[in-house]
Each structure stands twice: as C-alpha cells, then as structure tokens.
Amino acid sequence: MAPAMRRDGIAMDTLTDSLLDELRAVVARVDGQAVNEACAALAGAGRIAVYGCGREALQMKGFAMRLFHLGLPVSVVGDMTAPALGQGDVLFASSGPGETGTVLSLMRTAREAGAGVLLITAQPASSAARLADRLILVPAQTMADDRGEGRRSAFPMGSLFEGAMFVLFEMMVLKLKQKLGVDDEAMRARHTNLE
C-alpha cells in the first residue's frame, strides 16, 4: 500500500518517522541523573510552582496537572491561587532559549525567598542556567537557534524543544508515580469532575 500523501507532496509515513526520530534522539541525550534529581526535588518540595512562556507554558501547565494528580502541592505562577514560595519550596521554570526575561525575574525572586530553582532549558551556558540550582538540559533546537544555516530540525519555530518536554514529562510522571507509591486509581480520583 502506498504511503498517504499530504497536499505538499510529503509522504505522511516519512514525515512521521522523521519527526519521531528527532524526538527520540533528543530525549535519549537527556541526562538520566539530572532527571532523577529533579524528580527527587519535586517529590520532596513543600510547594511547587511552575512557569513557562508561550508554548512551553502549555507543557508546564500539563505537567502541573499531572503533579496535582500525583498528590503533590503544585500551582502555576500567575494563577490567583498560587502561594508565595519560601524555604523548602521549588520553582520549576522552563526557558528553552535560557534568556527569557520573565523567567529570569521569577528565578531571582524565588531564590531570594529561599526556594530552590529547577530549570528545563536547551541552553546550558545561558543566564537562566547559571541561576538554577538544578538543571534539566534538553539538547533540542529552539526559536533561539532555528534560523539560517544553524537550523537542523524539521520541527517549525523550535517546537522540537516543546515536543521533547512532553515526552520527558511523561517519563518523569512515571518515575514520580513509582517513587511516591501512587497508583492509577489514586491519580484518577484527583482528576477534576468539572468537565
């Protein structure tokens, strides 16, 4: 059977394989020890606040929902119910390019309040990486480096980073589920009924 074709002439099977291969290669290069340390920090936090900008924010909010389903005390920065952070708490921020002004400001505020700062980024030498206590490096192209001859990814506008975030966060949920001894039914019981 011939592969399904898109209007632009690209075979869907070829495109799917290419994109999944890119995601697989990026996620495979993430440091497993850094992920384990991030999971331990989240599991042991008094309170967790998450933040990201743009499409990264969508991934962070999805991860926050799963942390809530796991029974962890999580909020999203900007929500009216987000508490103040202090000693023993964790700000988990995302900045693929590592120079996002809002993220840098929030990281400084959290540090000044005594909270730990966990960062997920693609740029290990960035300002945000230098401010973080813990770092998850996702070696994916972002909007910071997706133009001209430096462009390597088939994903548009740096979205390889966000796709890798989703896969990585699902892995972290599975690790946290095991670490916390939470089963599927306990997670499901915390899912909203207001849908």
Question: Is 56 tagged catalytic?
Answer: no
CB-CB neighbours of 29 under 10 Å: 12
**Phi and psi based region of residue 175 (left: phi greater than 0; alpha: psi -120 to 50; beta: remaining):** alpha
Q: How far is CA 136 from the centre of its chain?
A: 9
Q: Which residue among the candidates 56, 149, 162, 170 is catalytic per the annotation?
A: 162
Count of beta carbons in the 10 Å neighbourhood of residue 110? 26
pLDDT in tens, 135-191: 999 998 776 666 566 667 667 767 889 999 999 999 999 999 999 999 999 999 999
**Longest Cα–Cα distance in the chain:** 61
- Does the model's pTM come out above 0.85? yes
The tokens describing 57, both together, are: 């924010």
As separate numbers, helices (DSSP H) first and strands (DSSP E) second, the chain gives: 7, 5
